[in-house]
Amino acid sequence: MGSSSTRKETVWLTGASSGLGLSCARAFVKAGFNVAAGARSFAASEGVTDETGYHIPLDVTKDESVRSFTEKALALYGPPDILVLCAGILVLGPYEVYTMDEIHRVMDTDFYGMVRSVQAALPLMREKGSGKIICFSSVNGLLGIPYQGAYTSAKHAVEGFCESLSMEVRPFGVQVTLIEPGDHRSGSSAYRAHAARAAESAAYHPSFENVTAVIRRDEENGSDPERLGEKVVRLSRRKRMPLRKRIASPDQHLAVFLHRILPGRLFSSVIASYYRTYRK
């Protein structure tokens, strides 16, 4: 979809207030797009326009909130040329002690929230015969690591959803891409919550403490989120987007490759060893 000298393309973006969604919103605004930026925290700044775009309150776990965002964004800029779905949360903990509410909360934000947003925007894209949907998955959508079970489950669901969706919408001129980020310095400690009963589980405690220290270290030393935002903008400008785009460090690319070629038990041993060997 080429840009026009008389019309700015429109982006609807979820999860725009923090993490990689914030970096993407900034990058699209900087590149000259109209950005309808959605986030729960924008309830206090509705109507503000800044480096992230035009603020519209959005809770992707609520049908009414998604409908309200859609109506406001449509009235403001018209139908989206690009839908960027970044909203997500993470709850760390052993699967044994997750509450069902914690699992539902992660799935409802990271997966069902994406489905709600697509269902709201897709009819508008079909009607005009074009559109690009960019869904944020993760390297964890391709492989699992300890104590991120709820998040990994949600991201695996995102992978399957987008594969099916891409085949369904292709005849209507709509493209779908999965962004699979590795670790980025995205302020994720703000939403890296621990399961409520994680600290109570003596059986898992030493392992859990060690693994979460590795996760924290890897995120703090991760890639630049602003560069990721710029890459997503460039990707959106391609005539034909790929189904998948992994944006990760060389060792994370290697982990995905090993996951494909190694027997499952051997790969699990490699990953377990990585998290065991780190000491604070």
Positions marked catalytic: 151
Q: What are phi and psi of 176, to 5 degrees?
A: -130, 135
Rounded to whole angstroms, how far apart are CA atoms 184 and 71? 33
The tokens for 216 are 């924290």
Residue 155, H or E segment? helix 149-169
Task: Report the sign of the C-alpha dihedral through residues 216, 59, 157, 126, in that order.
Answer: negative
Task: Report the sign of the C-alpha dihedral through residues 255, 257, 260, 261, in that order.
Answer: negative
Q: What angle do CA 89, 93, 94 make, to 5 degrees?
A: 140
Rounded to whole angstroms, how far apart are CA atoms 220 and 45? 29
**Residue 42, CA atoms < 13 Å, CB-side half-sphere:** 27
Rounded to whole angstroms, how far apart are CA atoms 247 and 252? 9
The tokens for 276 are 């065991």
Residue 250 Cα to chain centre, angstroms: 20
Beta bridge partners of 90: 192
